[in-house]
Structure formats: structure tokens, C-alpha cells
Amino acid sequence: MSVNKVILVGRLGVDPESRAFPTGGSICNLRIATSESWRDKQTGERQERTEWHRVILRNKLGEIAQQYLKKGAQVYIEGRIQTRKWQDKGGNDMYTTEIVGSEMTMLDSKSNAGSSAGDPQPPAGGYNDMDYNPGDYDNGDGYYGG
């Protein structure tokens, strides 16, 4: 038995970046920060470490993220870790590790997520992406977006 499951609760470091593919489908890239804090045992000072995560969302799930999430928004993501091998322009093998999101819940209220008063409200609850085919979106540059 093996398990590949990731759960993140964090904040977007930048606005989502989306890309549509000529063959159909789309990808949305998120950069999510998670932080942990602790007290240094010797000095008693508060310490903090931030970890940045690359998250990709496909199709409808990505479209929802693009429409409603903004930099600073807090989001819950479930997914799995994926490492892809690709070649750069010089022909060198490169590796990218990312989280392929399968579920997303927006945790901020509308006013905290950076939306203006005229924007439509998102439907309540979480979202999932069940239309996953791992080879559909690899464009060969190591990234799923711009």
C-alpha cells in the first residue's frame, strides 16, 4: 500500500496564473506560502519559517481559482505530490516538484480575499477536479503556465 496525499492551508503569494491549451483544458498555477513558528529554547525569541509550494489546478477547479482567488487569499488545498522531468532549452534534464490539487476550499471571506464589491460571489463549499489525465498538460518547458 502507498499513499500520496498533501493537505495545505496557506496564503497565495501572487495572483493565480492560468493557461489554456490548444488541445483543450487549462491549468492554473498557485504559489502558496505556509508558515510554522516556534520559540527558540535558548533565547526565548519567536522564530518563523515560511515554505513556498507550487500548486497546479486543472480545468474547472483552476478556472474557479483564477476567478475568485487573489494574492493574500487563504486557501485549503488537497492533492498529491508530483515530480516531473523535463528538458530546458539547453537540453539539460530538469525536475519540478509540485502539488497537483484535486480539492480546493476558499477560506477567506469575500472582503478579505481582495475582491471588489461588484464581483460575483463564489458558490459555497469546496471544489474538486475529477477529470485528471497526467499527460494532458505537459508543454515541455517544465511549467504549466506563463
Question: What digits encode the pLDDT tens for the residues 118-136?
Answer: 454 454 456 565 544 444 4
pTM for the model stands at 0.73
- Do 114 and 73 touch, CB atoms closer than 8 A? yes
Query: Can you read off the three cell numbers belonging to residue 25?
Result: 483544458
Q: What is the CATH number of the domain that holds 109?
A: 2.40.50.140
Specify if 34 maps to a domain: yes
Specify if 138 maps to a domain: no
* Residue 128 phi, psi dihedral angles, 5° rounding: -140, 165
Mean pLDDT per 10-residue interval, the chain, length 146 residues:
97 96 93 95 93 96 95 97 95 96 88 47 53 46 45
Length of the chain: 146
Segments forming the whole domain that contains residue 102: 6-128
Residue 126 Cα to chain centre, angstroms: 14
Dihedral angle over CA of 57, 63, 68, 72, nearest 10: 30
SS3 category, 143: coil
Q: Which of 64, 57, 54, 68 is nearest to 26 (CA)?
A: 57
How many domains does the chain divide into?
A: 1
Specify if 140 maps to a domain: no
pLDDT at position 108, please? Answer: 84
Specify if 141 maps to a domain: no
Specify if 42 maps to a domain: yes
Specify if 17 maps to a domain: yes
Specify if 88 maps to a domain: yes
Q: Which of 86, 108, 90, 107 is nearest to 98 (CA)?
A: 86
